[in-house]
A and B are shown apart, each in its own frame.
Chain A
Amino acid sequence: MNESLTMFGMPKTLFDKIWEAHLVANVQGGIDVLYIDRHFIHEVTSPQAFTGLEQRGIPVFRPKQTIATADHNVPTQNQHLPIQEELSRFQVDRLTENCAKFGVELYGLGHAYQGIVHVIGPELGITQPGMTIVCGDSHTSTHGAFGCIAFGIGTSQVEQVLATQCLLQEKPKQMRINVDGVLPKGVSAKDIILYIIAQLTAAGGTGYFVEYAGSAIRALSMEARMTICNMSIEMGARGGLIAPDETTIRYVQGRKFAPEGEAWDRAAAYWQTLYSDAEAVFDQEYHFRAEDIGPMLTYGTNPGMGIEVSGHIPNEDGKNFVKALEYMGLQPGEQLIGKTVNHVFIGSCTNSRIEDLRLVAAFIKGKQKAPNVHAMIVPGSKLVEAQAKAEQLDVIFRDAGFDFREPGCSACLGMNEDKIPRGEYCVSTSNRNFEGRQGQGARTILASPLMAAATAIAGRIVDVREELN
């Protein structure tokens, strides 16, 4: 947007307001130099960036604005012991060495704040409304739930941010997705986002930054909003954001790194100016009704291939569709309901927060997992794990036969030992059902925590709405 126009009060989107507040300069050709407030790093996408700094002989420009954790490539059992797998141990050790050498705060294994990078930022109050946040991880969009411009970057860009606290970015197009109405019983934020992606396809948001709005979004807790924004990338969008409101401000207040005293008052007042003006124009806009959304499941090999739990797998032409169903061992016209499932994974940056765990615990309390099922619950962070234990949720999980682990990305991407065997189905609360994502040949069915819990108890896919009645 042209600066002279904005001075005359041209309506702006929430995204415009944050972008303009971080604009350092403009390069020829429409690329902006964007200032980055917070930079999260982890062991997998940072080592080559640090090597780059070493080769250039330059320091981290603003080390206090980068926060590190180990999450992708860590075991979820016996974290107090040295990592068994040699390559993984070496990679995690490199992160420790790099952080020490360059003065970056590390919440590594054994630290009370360790966890999945997109879980710890918000819960520690590092993520705050109006910020620009990046990380070498596509699910950085999670932080958009606070009204942030947050997006994933490649390792070359990690190096740029370490070196200069800035990024060269083309301003994306803007989309608004409105969800109005009241969600039916048994339907959650995960179902909203799976429904949206099924409607818009896995590439429907490419080139866009998305703002989620509407009464059904406003009604969500911060953790539920994070689930929505988290999966923006699964429709191709760089990120998604939600205007901060009372729910946001209440969530941030009092957290470890949240502002205090006068600084808090100033920040909270500023955050209340962060919304899209009534007349703001979006390049693309969609409207959905919460009442139309049911528990969702994916049947294919990208997150856009989703249906309602009682729906039938569509029949589409094309080699890609056929290949996806062949990989999944499914037929067009088939229903997923009733299908035997031997693996359930509850975790990942999409659904591993305390509310997710509470929801699962409330559902499975007093029940037993089906004998055929291995049900794994991996908390998003040490703080989530500690909270779950304080509420004795861990007892409920163990009594029901669930395998309650230590924090990490785990079976979402199968970088560590937590893999689903070839040919087996896994109902998973994670974000991607790509071929081999959870292990070579593994067949992923994405679902909400409640649907995953119900599957674990029944040993087959059921409609959780019927279990709740």
Chain B
Amino acid sequence: MEKFQILRSTAVPLPAEDVDTDQIIPARFLKATTREGFGENLFRDWRYQANGAPQPDFVLNNPIYGGAILVAGKNFGCGSSREHAAWALYDYGFRVVVSSFYADIFRGNAINNGLLPVEVSDAFLNQIFETIEADPNTQFEVDLAQQTFGIPAKGLSARFEIDPYKKMCLLNGYDDIDYLLSLKTEIAAFEKQRESV
């Protein structure tokens, strides 16, 4: 996993709420057996019309907006546990998602792939949307060590929560498997102790 420390970028606004993982990556694209290439079909059925032409209204097709931050309405990533949703966002180029509320499984999948889910208040989320609307070139700053999401041009900043262990993993690019593999002796001891009960 790649390290995540500080990111400065413009952001893409997607104010829809309850964005489920079937929208992020529809099931018919889950036939691949590798983690790569899902970005091409990110938000496929919102991004393209039935005839395959780009849907002009959709934000990813609007050249005004760009950057490595996706800002979305509340309850982002609900539904299916498919990690392909996190892979698709990452493969497309996003490194941060900002919302006021996340579905649990998506949040975990994102962190496990170096995609940082930043949770802010509804009020701050609205400020971000308004800021992008006023000026799509606004730069945002995400500082994982400080746990802050900032709008430097406006002198605004919000703190976000992240589990300290997960933060350490992201800052250093570690994944959970390395940690769990280091516990194999304890795991085997646990199994033995259970058998004897």
Contact = CB atoms under 8 A, between A and B. Distances in A.
Chain A: number of interface residues, binned into ranges: 35 or more
Contacts of B62: none
B104 A172 contact: yes
B75 A137 contact: no
Contacts of A28: 164-165
Nearest to A140: B81
B79 A48 contact: no
A56 B190 contact: no
B81 A138 contact: yes
A156 B183 contact: no
Nearest to A324: B18
Interface string A151-171: 011111101100111101010
Contacts of B82: 44-45, 154
B73 to A, nearest CB: 7
Interface stretch (A106-114, A199-207, A353-361): A199-207
Chain B: number of interface residues, binned into ranges: 35 or more
Interface string B31-71: 11111000000000100001000000000000000000000
A259 interface: no
Interface in B1-40: 15-18, 20, 22-23, 26-28, 30-35
Nearest to A156: B112
Nearest to A436: B45
A222 to B, nearest CB: 24
B113 interface: yes
Given A152-B81, A154-B82, A320-B17, 17 more contacts: A24-B183, A27-B165, A47-B34, A51-B34, A90-B31, A137-B81, A138-B79, A155-B84, A160-B177, A163-B180, A164-B177, A164-B183, A202-B18, A203-B103, A206-B78, A236-B104, A238-B105
B81 A29 contact: no
B78 A203 contact: yes
B22 A44 contact: no
Interface in A108-161: 136-138, 152-157, 159-160
Contacts of B23: 434-436
B28 A414 contact: yes
A362 B17 CA distance: 41
Nearest to B28: A415
Contacts of B175: 156
24 contacts: A25-B186, A33-B186, A35-B191, A45-B83, A51-B33, A73-B31, A91-B31, A137-B81, A153-B81, A154-B83, A156-B83, A159-B177, A160-B176, A166-B183, A202-B18, A203-B18, A203-B75, A206-B75, A206-B78, A206-B101, A206-B102, A236-B104, A323-B16, A413-B22
B103 A236 contact: yes
A73 B29 CA distance: 11
A408 to B, nearest CB: 13
A318 B31 CA distance: 35
B105 A154 contact: yes
A40 B182 CA distance: 24
A440 interface: yes
Interface in A229-281: 233, 236, 238
B31 A48 contact: no
Given A28-B164, A432-B22, A414 B104 contact: no
A207 B102 CA distance: 9
Nearest to B113: A156
Contact of A436 (B15, B26, B165): B26
A172 B163 CA distance: 13
A35 B193 CA distance: 13
Nearest to A439: B28
A219 interface: no
A278 to B, nearest CB: 25
A52 B87 CA distance: 15
Contacts of B105: 138, 152-154, 238
A386 interface: no
Nearest to B175: A156
B150 to A, nearest CB: 24
Interface in A161-191: 163-166, 168, 170, 172
